[in-house]
Structure 1
Amino acid sequence: MPVKNAPTFAAVGSPYFGILLAAMAVIVILSNIGASKGVLFGPIVTDGGFFLFPFAYILGDVISEIYGFKVARKAILTTFVLSIFASLCYWVIIVLPGFTDDYGMAKQEALELALRSGSANCSCQPAGLPRRADHQFLDHGRLKARQGERKLWARLMGSSGVGEFVDTVIFCAIAAPVIGIVGFPMFANYVVVGFVYKTAVEFLFIPVTTWVIRWFKRNEPSYTASAAS
């Protein structure tokens, strides 16, 4: 007889997990490229990846809820290994001999400016990885261990906060000089805006995240089998 409120998790063998992992990896790599561009909305300082970052966290919440903390931690490690691979690929593209006409030289200069910045952002991400993974996924996992299938909204809210802040500070500290942020006031603006924005988007998207998680719980074969056992 199943234990009341015992947490349920799915196996990773179904196609759904592969789709989630691929989506997370693509979002992280694209957001690193976008983050190489500084963006100004009046007095607000941010970067070109601002609209992508929150979705990586949301996908992390979905994976953690459906597949568990250990799988979620492996997923985030995989995405950052792929980020490092992307960084190495950028370096190879830059050093390959290109055309020497004016158009070719102009393209080479543009590629170097864009890809070196993207490469720096890809390389800096692992610095915040352990704390981000521990805070976001471990907090989520501990809450689910206590609550079982109840209070999903509390897990989604509780797994943000600290993990978001640590990741934002570390990323912004390394990305700031890449995109041309100078001076502490501008840097503080960048950090605060990034943290508030990411956290606000996660909270605002809780109804959507909840709907997605419930869809996976109904349609992930190994999840429904585990819940019924």
Structure 2
Amino acid sequence: MNKAEPRNFKYYDLIMAACVCVLLCANLIGPAKAAQVDLPLLGTVTFGADLFFFPISYIFGDVLTEVYGYGRDRRVVWAGFGALAFAAFMAFVIVNLPPARNAFMDGYQQHVEAMFGNTWRVVAASMIAFAAGSFANSFVMAKMKVATAGRFLWARIVGSTAVGQLLDTGLFLTIAFWGIWPQEQLLAVFVAQYFFKLIWEAVLYPVTARFVAFLKKAEGLDHYDRDTNFNPFTLKV
């Protein structure tokens, strides 16, 4: 018996590239910075500076699982994990290379260390939290789709994000900053980030739903993970 030829998708590779790009930018620019804004009624709100951008990677995860299935989203998660690992290694090498001996480079080295000299805790926190949160998000999304027979997309997106971001945000802040930031600041940042990410996901739902509908029509695919192997440590679809 001849094996079925693997399907070629129009947009899967582009979505994978976009997801990895967002993930790298969100983790390299701003995650270790705590920002504050004063809001009416709420007062001073503290949050991670990457707050507006990292949740976009979860939207990609929802779209990939909804259209292409858990197995293909799993490949994207591992691609993102590999990109984060390489970025961390490259940053480590560049920061630790001896700078040229001149006044300009002496000052510039300090800026490079400030921007890319993240501690091992921040790097480990980013990678562990991303993997755990992304796999949880995709797993819940896939299981809810089968359970609801493909209905209630909004509930599946928000519900899966609630689980994934709980793990992601909690693990990242705990691993990266426990014992460094005051506990009240950690709690404030966690609460602000977690609920903002859920609200952000809900606000962007109309765009997400249209994107999902477009992809399903363009790809001729609406995957249900009824017989899927949910082992995260495999690349098989």
Deviation at 1:59, TM superposition (A): 0.6
User: 2:134 matched to 1:133?
Assistant: yes
Distance in 2, Cα, partners of 1:145 & 1:118: 41
* Structure 2 gaps, min length 5: 1-5, 39-43, 225-237
Tell me the equivalent position of 2:92: 91
Tell me the equivalent position of 1:16: 11
Q: Which has the higher contact order (CA 8 A, sep 6+)?
A: 1
Distance in 1, Cα, partners of 2:180 & 2:208: 33
Residue-by-residue CA offset, 1:12-71 (whole Å, 9 max, x unaligned): 632411111111111111111221322111321112211111101101000011110121
Aligned partner of 2:46: which letter? V
Deviation at 1:108, TM superposition (A): 0.8
Kept in 2, the 8 Å contact 1:31–1:49? The answer is: yes
Q: How many matched pairs?
A: 212
Distance in 2, Cα, partners of 1:137 & 1:144: 11
User: 2:194 matched to 1:199?
Assistant: no
Tell me the equivalent position of 1:167: 168
Kept in 2, the 8 Å contact 1:39–1:45? The answer is: yes
Tell me the equivalent position of 1:36: 32
Tell me the equivalent position of 1:215: 214
Kept in 1, the 8 Å contact 2:32–2:122? The answer is: yes
Kept in 1, the 8 Å contact 2:166–2:194? The answer is: yes
| 1:12–1:64 CA distance, 2 compared to 1 (3 A) | farther
Give the TM-score taking structure 2 as reference length.
0.81
Name the one with the larger helix percent. Answer: 1
Deviation at 1:122, TM superposition (A): 3.7
Kept in 2, the 8 Å contact 1:125–1:171? The answer is: yes
Tell me the equivalent position of 2:46: 45
Tell me the equivalent position of 2:227: none
Distance in 2, Cα, partners of 1:12 & 1:167: 32
Q: Which runs of 4+ in 1 moved over 4 A?
A: none
Tell me the equivalent position of 2:62: 61
Tell me the equivalent position of 1:142: 143
| 1:186–1:148 CA distance, 2 compared to 1 (3 A) | same
| 1:144–1:175 CA distance, 2 compared to 1 (3 A) | same
Kept in 2, the 8 Å contact 1:28–1:56? The answer is: yes
| 1:12–1:20 CA distance, 2 compared to 1 (3 A) | farther
SS where residue 44 of structure 1 aligns?
Answer: strand
Tell me the equivalent position of 1:77: 78
Aligned partner of 1:79: which letter? G
| 1:150–1:162 CA distance, 2 compared to 1 (3 A) | closer
Give the TM-score taking structure 1 as reference length.
0.83
Deviation at 1:99, TM superposition (A): 2.0
Distance in 2, Cα, partners of 1:118 & 1:204: 34
Deviation at 1:120, TM superposition (A): 5.1
Percent identity over paired residues = 25
* Structure 1 gaps, min length 5: 1-10
Aligned partner of 2:199: which letter? A
Tell me the equivalent position of 1:8: none
Output aligned runs, 1:144-159, within 5 Å. 144-159=145-160
Kept in 1, the 8 Å contact 2:125–2:173? The answer is: no
Deviation at 1:79, TM superposition (A): 0.4
Deviation at 1:129, TM superposition (A): 4.3
SS where residue 117 of structure 1 aligns?
Answer: coil
Kept in 2, the 8 Å contact 1:36–1:118? The answer is: no
Distance in 2, Cα, partners of 1:15 & 1:108: 44
